[in-house]
Each structure stands twice: as C-alpha cells, then as structure tokens.
Amino acid sequence: MPTISDVAKLTGLSKTTISRVINNHQYVSEEKRALVLKAMQELGYTPNPAARRLRGQSTTTIGVIVPRIVNPFFSYLVNTIETAAYEKGYQVIISQSNEDAEKELAFLQLLKTKQVDGIIMTAIENEWSVIEPFLAYGPIMLCNEYITNANVPIVRLNQQKGAYIGVKHLIDRGHHKIAYCTGGLFAEDGKDKDRNHGFQKALKEADIAVNTKWIFLNQYSIEDGKKVMNQIMAMDERPTAIFTGSDEIAAGMMIEAKKHGLKIPEDMAIIGFDDQPIAEMLEPQLTTIRQPVEKMGELAVAILVDMLDDTSLKVQEHELPIELVIRKTT
C-alpha cells in the first residue's frame, strides 16, 4: 500500500502539500495540485482511514442498531439507511440488539472508540440514562422508536394516530369486541405507549370498555401471532376483530385462524401494521397501517450527516405521516 510519503517522494513535494490536495485546502497552486493528483492516480494511493481517524478526523462510518434484521420492517429501514449513507460517502456498521441491553451497550462503545461517527438507534433496550453519556463522543439519533425527553434528534411516526385510525376503522366496520396484540410489555414511553393511547382513545370515543382478556402485549413474530390466535380460539367469548402491532403478527394469526376454519374478515377481522410486502401476498390481502420506511431512513441519515458536518446544529424532531391501507381483512 502506498502512503502519503510515497506520493510526496514521487512528486518531490512535502507530505503537507499532498495532504492539502487530499483535503482540498486553499493555497495550493494548480500546477502542484495536478501533479499530486496524477501521482496519486499512478500509485493507486488511498489515504489510510486509520491514520485519519487517529487524527480525530471522521470515520465516514455510521452505526445502526436494529432489533433484528430479519424483521422486514427493519431490513427495509436498513436498506434505505445504507443506500442514503453510501450516497453521502458513509459506510454502515450494523448490529442487532436482539432485545439484549448488553449488546446494545457494546455497540454504543463504537462511538466512544471512534469507530463510528454517529449512531442511529431504531430500537432502545437500555435506560436513557445509560445511553446519554455516550452523546459526549458523538451524535446519536432515534429513528422509529423514541423517548420523549431525550435531547437528541428523532425521526418518528405518529404512532398514536396509527393505532387510532386502525381501531377506528374496525369500529366503523361495526366491531365492538376488539383485541389488541402488539409489542412492548410495560411501555411507559415511546412508540408502544403512543399506540396504546391511540387504541384506548378510539375505544373510548365509541364508548367501548377495554376487555383486558383481549390485550396481548410483548408479541412480535409470526409465531407469536399463531400462539395468540390459539389462545383466542380457546376462549369462551372471542373478539370479532384484532388490531396487531405488525404485519407479521397478523400473518401468524391469519394462518392459524384459517386452520381453525375461521373466515377472514367475516368471522374475524384482522388489521396489521407496517404494510410490508407480505401484506399484499396474504390471502385475503391484509388491511394495515403503512409506515413510510424509506422517508424515515433517508431523513435519519440526512439529519445525522448534518449534525456531523455542523456540530452546533440544534436538535430536530420529525413526525412523518402514517396512513391506513384498507385491503380485504377488514
């Protein structure tokens, strides 16, 4: 690997001048600049990022934490983040937190040790008080999941509205017995809390009391959906509609409901969340709440890069629109 000294030697100039050319500093004559550029080309020279980082320069790398990449919502989010980052000249380091606070913490260390310039968190496992100290080492921003009084940029959706319009839609279709199956066990803040509020608000407006037997929390996967549906099938009094926290839960429920001979939506209406590709592939096609994943990812990268360029930037918060996509399961 050629180094900056090799370029200096070949051109007969000093390392300083080479560095100036690399970093587009002023006060380099056109003549020398061309000479240096040519020599760099010739040698196939690339600046060593480790050396640049050591001097406190940027790593042009951003870190992204997702709960699990196999969840399509997050793989789509990572897709847009990676693409947007690449366009801005950044690499992406990925970690799956897997609901593991330890692993999340290990990842935040990358910021401390300057392996990443900044971090996008799409889920939060640790207490904010644990995460906050890392802000001293670089920007952290929240995308998707959020915490109300964290003084960091947030790109999020109006989750309360999402749940509200979904449940409202079920009520409009004449349902009174509505089950609720979503993630977040004791959600005291953020996405799940807001969804809970949206759910409650819609019911309250229609004067429907919450039946706690039909509340299923901490549910995430297809398997979870199947299990819950089986629990519901075993009940004396069943709900007639289910609002779920993801298309995957909904899909699991549909598979199992069909096994039990239930007709959807006649015997059981189901509504998903996310509008993943599977929503269109299920039969019947799934009514769901669409989240603008692409916009979220792009915006998150744009904000993070802005913060990296200008550290004095003030904290922004963006709330993106969310909408109901009515298909055939309601």
DSSP-derived secondary structure letter, 213 = G
The verdict on 115 binding DNA (CB under 7 A) reads no
Out of DNA, a second copy, none, what residue 148 binds, judged by CB under 5 to 8 A for its kind, is none
Query: Whole-number minimum distance, CB 10 to a second copy, in Å?
Result: 19
Asked whether the beta carbons of 98 and 68 are under 8 A apart, the reply is yes
CB within 8 Å of 272: residues ≥ 6 apart: 244, 246, 247, 249, 250, 251, 279, 286, 287, 288, 289, 329
Task: Please name which of 211, 330, 225, 227 lies closest in space to residue 270, comparing C-alpha atoms.
Answer: 330
Residue 32 found at the interface with DNA (CB under 7 A)? yes
Residue 78 partner contact from DNA, a second copy, none using kind-dependent CB cut-offs of 5 to 8 Å: a second copy
Other beta carbons within 10 angstroms of residue 304's beta carbon come to 29
Q: Which H/E stretch holds residue 94?
A: strand 91-96
Identify what 255 binds: DNA, a second copy, none; CB under 5 to 8 Å per kind: a second copy
Binding at 82: pick from a second copy, DNA, none (beta carbon under 5-8 Å per type): a second copy
- Report the residue number, 214 or 273, with the smaller CB distance to a second copy: 273
56 is a contact residue toward DNA (CB under 7 A): yes
Residue 83 interacting entry, from DNA, a second copy, none, C-beta within 5 to 8 Å by type = a second copy
Binding residue (CB under 8 A) for a second copy from 42, 205, 283, 309: 283
Does 282 sit near a second copy (CB under 8 A)?
A: yes
Asked if 13 is part of the footprint of DNA (rule: CB under 7 A), the reply reads yes
Pairing of strands 288-290, 323-325: antiparallel
Among 9, 37, 52, 99, contact with DNA (rule: CB under 7 A):
52
- For a second copy, which residue of 82, 125, 194, 274 counts as binding (CB under 8 A)? 82
Max CA pair span of the chain = 88
Q: Of the candidates 187, 185, 238, 250, which has an alpha carbon nearest to the alpha carbon of residue 211?
A: 238
Q: Is 34 in the site for DNA (CB under 7 A)?
A: no
- Residues 224-249: b if buried by 16+ CB within 10 A, e if exposed: bbbbbbeebeeeeebbbbbbbbbbbb
Name which position in 50, 185, 209, 234 contacts a second copy (CB under 8 A). Answer: 50
**Judged by CB under 8 A, which of 14, 215, 277, 326 binds a second copy?**
277
The reply to whether 231 sits near DNA by the rule CB under 7 A is no
**Which strands form 178-181's sheet, in the order they lie side by side?**
215-216, 178-181, 241-244, 269-271
Pick one of a second copy, DNA, none as the site partner of residue 32 (Cβ within 5 to 8 A by kind).
Answer: DNA
- In the bound state with a second copy, the residue whose beta carbon lies nearer, of 49 and 206, is 49
Tokens of 122: 């799409």
The DSSP H or E segment spanning 228 is helix 222-233
Interacting partner of 22 out of DNA, a second copy, none (Cβ under 5 to 8 A depending on kind): DNA
Q: Smallest Cα–Cα separation from 299: which of 315, 318, 314?
A: 318
At 42, list the tokens: 């010739």
Task: Indicate which single residue of 34, 38, 42, 51 sits in contact with DNA (rule: CB under 7 A).
Answer: 51
Question: Least distance in Å: CB of 93 to a second copy?
Answer: 5
Q: How many CA atoms lie within 13 A of 262 on its CB side?
A: 24
Residue choice 9, 37, 57, 60 for contact with DNA (CB under 7 A): 57
Q: Using the rule CB under 7 A, is 261 a contact of DNA? A: no
Q: Using CA atoms, how far apart are residues 258 and 272, in angstroms rounded to an integer? A: 16
Restricting to residues 102-131, which ones interact with a second copy according to CB under 8 A? 103, 106, 109-110, 112-115
Residues in the site for DNA, rule: CB under 7 A?
1, 3-5, 12-20, 22-23, 26-29, 31-32, 45-48, 50-52, 54-57
